[in-house]
Amino acid sequence: MQIKRNNRLKAKLVYIILCFLGLSSGIDAQIQPPVDSIGSQLDSIVPTLPVGDTVFIGVDSLQILSDSLGDNTSKIQLSKDSLDAPVQYTATDSMIYDIADKKIHLYGEGVVNYTTISVKADHIIFDWETNIVTAEGMPDSLGRLSGFPEFKDGDQEFKAERMRYNFKTRKGIVYDVTTQQGDMIVQGTKSKFVSGDPGDTTSNDIVYSNDAIFTTCTHPEPHFGIRSGKQKVIPNKLVVVGPSNLEIMGVPTPLWLPFGFFPISKTRSTGLLFPRDYEYSDQWGFGLRDIGWFFPLGEHFNLSLKANIYVKGTWGLTAESQYRKRYKYNGRFSIGYDVRRSEALDGMINREKSFKLQLSHNQDPSAHPLNSFGGTINFQLNGYQARVYNDAQSVLNNQLSSNFSFSRNWRDKPISMSLSFNHSQNTNTNNITVNFPNFQFQTQTLYPFRRKERVGKEKWYENITMRYTGEAKSTFTGPDSTFFSQRTLDEARYGARHKANAGTSIKLLKYFNVNPNVNYEEVWYFKTIRRDFIDDPKIEIDTVNGIVTRDTLTLGQINNQLIQGFQSFRTFSAGVSMNTQIFGTMLFKKGWLRGVRHVIKPSVSLGYTPSYLSEDLGWYRTVQDTLDPTQFDRYSIFDGGIYGSPSSSGKQMALSYSINNIFEAKYFSKKDSSEKNLKLFDNIVISGNYNFAADSLKWSRINISGTTRFFKGMTTLSFRTVFDPYVNVFNKNSSRRTSKLRWKEEGKLLQFIETNVRLNTSVTVSKIRALFQGKEEEIIENLDEEEENQRTRKRPEETDFLSLFEQFRIAHTFVLDFEKTTGGRDTFKLSTHSLSLSGSVQLTPNWNINMGNIGYDFVSKAITYPYLGFSRDLHCWQMGLSWAPTRGTYSFYIQVKPGTLGFLRVPYDRNNADAIRAFQ
């Protein structure tokens, strides 16, 4: 009776455990909350089990009928200590249920899941009484430990050698743990972690570690890191460390920190921007570059405030912003101000100030169907980029420009409007030109006589077109040192212009296109010029030495005076042009040359322009010459105007001609047994005109120009030659035409004036392959995007020796001038002959040689700003050197790759201020 009672109690206990586990069949199981009592149904459901303390369930032998109770669970009472959700677990090898100790052992790729928490290991022990999971690895067939624990809670996960975790308290202890937060990897000998409550948005996961090292190195044994005795990690937010020091290759360094805060947030948040560089300069002292603060301004904007600070007074501030709104716009903004201190050999202190403003704004095409707004602005004062940066692009680029505009079209209306800002700047001459505002209103091509509904054949007059353009703008010019001054405003030029034209196109005799046209232009100005002769020679007074100098070579001076007030002029022109095409072809049946084609595109036009020199119009005036009292110089009161002045050539009735010649050939290719086309000359153009209304010099000079390409576009040859039918008198710097025809004077048709020949070659590996291997060359449409791709492009696969130079470019420019000089002597002048190399050569996956620019100018016999360097990939570190010998600057560094610890950098360099001092 006692044995039967014991077996019955044992059966009840087993059934409770099995109900607790929720086993059905196989190896998968589900642990339900424990129960306090079970009904009398146990007597008929649970079989009699032998007396013992341990139950072993194999993978193929576990068959428990857990569904015998059906849906009758109303009598089951949950324990107050039970978990609030099922615990699911699996294993590939076996499970052992230790009933006496109330534990479950999972062997072979064991997995335990509870809500958002997952534990994986080759050996997992679950204590259902304490809700504690213990996980560790197991020896493999070679006796090596494998299958180490992996813990995951939501998006947080780590690996360890051993771990314990309490599902109820959500706390655990891990040994030899490795976890990653963003790019930060934390390795600790012992860590305690507390999981936040998923239902409480204010709670956070927290990891406390002892004797831990955090690093961005992904190697199992980190090459560097910051080791500290105590650490606190709040995932996706912050790493806080106590006393710590930098460790390299397992060796502690003297670099010590009393404490540290390192943000690891995946989201944008306000925080410190670590310096990009640490420098020492003899001129400036110790300094930090690009130290600052980051501000996220809403959902779509970022702002970074950065500073360059040196202890001897050199400093600079930069504000940078990036913004983006999907399907609307994107762009970036940068404004900088820099003050550079320099000390001359005599001890004098100079402070040179420079400024930059850069803006790029792009509107998404889908943002608005009718309006468009965007462009770029690149404005600098006092050579900002050449002072602050030393790379070849910043130093050699002396042309800056901007173009920013707003435009609007009207739906179902043939009109459009635009408002723009543009500027150009030469950093060598320091001259700035700003055009703002530029307003333009124009119509599309209008057909005023075209029928809305076409019936029958189109009439000739239905192709008559009309178009109107109205514009107004202001132009400000001046040196950058005084550009923002009252003088620039006083010398500003502004005006408005109206242009209207009409024309049509007529097909004549099937092969000729006849295009008559009429043009009208009206220009408004609000300032004009007056020039008056003053009978008072120029006198210069030297107030220092008390010397008075009087100009005895001139009779007086010309006084230029600006007259305020509205003035306008109007111009008119009419003309007719005719063009056609003539084809000439010669075919060959034998040989590699199969044919030659010559395309001639002649064009003849007759144009009329009235004279605007009449005194009645008042647009042109005369003023006495300062050297000859009998001579008077003509000038226009609109000289220097933003839209120019009326033509000073007088009445024009000119017949203009242009003959464009294109030469092509067809040859037989043995490579693929097909005929291919070859363009011999892209164009050879002959042009000139004859003016019927001129009193003399009716014939213009004749211009001949042409272009051809060699080696599949690698080399471009262009030339321009000028001939004159009149006799010319040559002096040192120019030539003067006479009214004598050379045919009548010397029996020759034309006189040679000058020739210019230009040869440009650009060689890349892709072009060499296209030339020798028949591969097509990649067409580059966006140069800026291609340069960025080259910087980020992975090393190409080495298929041949040329693969090393895949990102390399060689450019050669040759310009030859041939002209007449004094006495009619023919003179050759080599005006430009330069060779430049740029790009990079990746010798190995880790070694890279950079050539920002290196070249040689054969005319000046000098190297053109070489900028060389190399870089070495050191896994989690990188090393590099850049050198500009012409400027005297260099930079050597070893630093951690960009990331959370990217501020760890060892620099050694010399800036341009120290280089200038060294050269003095």
Q: In this predicted structure, what is the pLDDT of residue 557? A: 85
Is 290:319 a contact under the CB 8 Å cutoff? Answer: no
Q: In this predicted structure, what is the pLDDT of residue 274? A: 80
Residue 761 has phi, psi (to 5 degrees) of -130, 130
Q: In this predicted structure, what is the pLDDT of residue 470? A: 97
Tokens 């006083």: give the residue.
490
Q: How far is residue 382's CA from residue 353's CA, in Å, rounded to a whole number?
A: 7
pLDDT bucket at 5, cuts 50 / 70 / 90: very low
Q: How far is residue 596's CA from residue 584's CA, in Å, rounded to a whole number?
A: 8
pLDDT in tens, 728-776: 888 766 778 999 999 999 999 999 989 999 999 988 877 777 666 665 4
Tell whether the model's pLDDT for residue 10 goes beyond 50: no
**Lookup: tokens for 686:** 């002959």
Cβ neighbour number for residue 735 with a 10 Å cutoff: 17
The mean pLDDT of the chain is: 83
Read out DSSP for 683-750? EEEEEEEEETT-SS--BPPEEEEEEEEETTTTEEEEEEEEEESEEEEE-SS-EEEEEEEHHHHHS-S-
What residues have CB less than 8 Å from 374, skipping those under 6 apart? 329, 331, 361, 362, 363, 404, 405
Q: How far is residue 218's CA from residue 216's CA, in Å, rounded to a whole number?
A: 6
Strand partners, 490: none
Average pLDDT over residues 490-509: 94
Tell whether the model's pLDDT for residue 8 goes beyond 50: no
Residue 2 has phi, psi (to 5 degrees) of -70, -40
CA distances from 523 to 94, 472, 914 (A): 96, 10, 54
Tell whether the model's pLDDT for residue 66 goes beyond 60: no
CA atoms within 13 A on the CB side of 564: 3
Q: How far is residue 433's CA from residue 237's CA, in Å, rounded to a whole number?
A: 49
Q: In this predicted structure, what is the pLDDT of residue 798? A: 52
Q: How big is the CA angle at 110 (ends 108 and 111), to the nearest 5 degrees?
A: 160
Is 853:883 a contact under the CB 8 Å cutoff? Answer: no
CA distances from 661 to 511, 657, 727 (A): 18, 13, 28
Q: In this predicted structure, what is the pLDDT of residue 145? A: 86
Tell whether the model's pLDDT for residue 636 goes beyond 90: yes
Tell whether the model's pLDDT for residue 6 goes beyond 50: no
Q: How far is residue 141's CA from residue 146's CA, in Å, rounded to a whole number?
A: 10
Q: In this predicted structure, what is the pLDDT of residue 919? A: 64
The 3-class secondary structure across 244-298, one letter per residue, is EEEEECCEEEEEEECCEEEECCCCCCCEEECCCEEEEECCCEEEEEEEEEEEEEC
pLDDT in tens, 433-459: 999 999 999 999 999 999 888 778 888
Q: How far is residue 853's CA from residue 572's CA, in Å, rounded to a whole number?
A: 51
Is 661:599 a contact under the CB 8 Å cutoff? Answer: yes
The residue among 790, 817, 815 whose CA lies nearest residue 805 is 790
419 sits in the region (left: phi over 0; alpha: psi -120 to 50; else beta) called: beta
pLDDT in tens, 387-416: 888 877 888 888 999 999 999 999 989 999
Q: In this predicted structure, what is the pLDDT of residue 230? A: 86
How, if at all, do strands 244-248 and 251-257 pair? antiparallel
Q: In this predicted structure, what is the pLDDT of residue 881? A: 93
* Range of weakest confidence among 321-335, 760-774, 857-871: 760-774
Q: In this predicted structure, what is the pLDDT of residue 787? A: 46
Q: How far is residue 483's CA from residue 491's CA, in Å, rounded to a whole number?
A: 11
pLDDT in tens, 296-323: 988 899 999 999 999 988 999 999 999 9
Tell whether the model's pLDDT for residue 287 goes beyond 80: yes
How, if at all, do strands 493-503 and 506-508 pair? unpaired
Tokens 């089951």: give the residue.
76
Which stretch, 377-391, 419-433, 895-909, has highest mean pLDDT? 419-433
Tokens 């000289």: give the residue.
639
Is 816:783 a contact under the CB 8 Å cutoff? Answer: no
How, if at all, do strands 238-241 and 184-194 pair? unpaired
Amino acid at 114: Y
Q: In this predicted structure, what is the pLDDT of residue 263? A: 72
* Range of weakest confidence among 208-217, 264-273, 706-715: 264-273
pLDDT in tens, 176-225: 888 887 788 888 888 888 877 666 655 677 888 888 888 999 888 899 99
Q: In this predicted structure, what is the pLDDT of residue 823? A: 63
Q: How far is residue 855's CA from residue 860's CA, in Å, rounded to a whole number?
A: 12
Read out DSSP for 374-392? EEEEEEEESSHHHHH--SH
Average pLDDT over residues 558-575: 94
Cβ neighbour number for residue 270 with a 10 Å cutoff: 10
Is 126:21 a contact under the CB 8 Å cutoff? Answer: no
3-state class (DSSP) for residue 139: strand
Tokens 């009592």: give the residue.
37
How, if at all, do strands 162-166 and 171-181 pair? antiparallel
Q: In this predicted structure, what is the pLDDT of residue 548? A: 62
Q: How far is residue 369's CA from residue 409's CA, in Å, rounded to a whole number?
A: 9
Cβ neighbour number for residue 387 with a 10 Å cutoff: 21
CA distances from 418 to 361, 362, 407, 492 (A): 16, 16, 4, 22
Average pLDDT over residues 162-170: 87
* Range of weakest confidence among 382-396, 603-617, 634-648: 382-396
The residue among 842, 868, 843 whose CA lies nearest residue 853 is 868
Q: How far is residue 319's CA from residue 355's CA, in Å, rounded to a whole number?
A: 12
Read out DSSP for 424-455? EEETTTTEEEEEEEEEEEEE--B-TT--SS--
Tell whether the model's pLDDT for residue 252 goes beyond 60: yes
26 sits in the region (left: phi over 0; alpha: psi -120 to 50; else beta) called: left
Is 855:867 a contact under the CB 8 Å cutoff? Answer: no
Answer whether the bond into residue 866 is a cis peptide, omega within 30°: no
pTM flag (> 0.85): no
Strand partners, 159: 150, 178
Q: How far is residue 168's CA from residue 686's CA, in Å, rounded to a whole number?
A: 93
pLDDT in tens, 514-566: 999 999 999 999 999 999 988 877 666 666 666 666 666 778 888 889 999 99
pLDDT bucket at 800, cuts 50 / 70 / 90: low
Q: In this predicted structure, what is the pLDDT of residue 160? A: 87
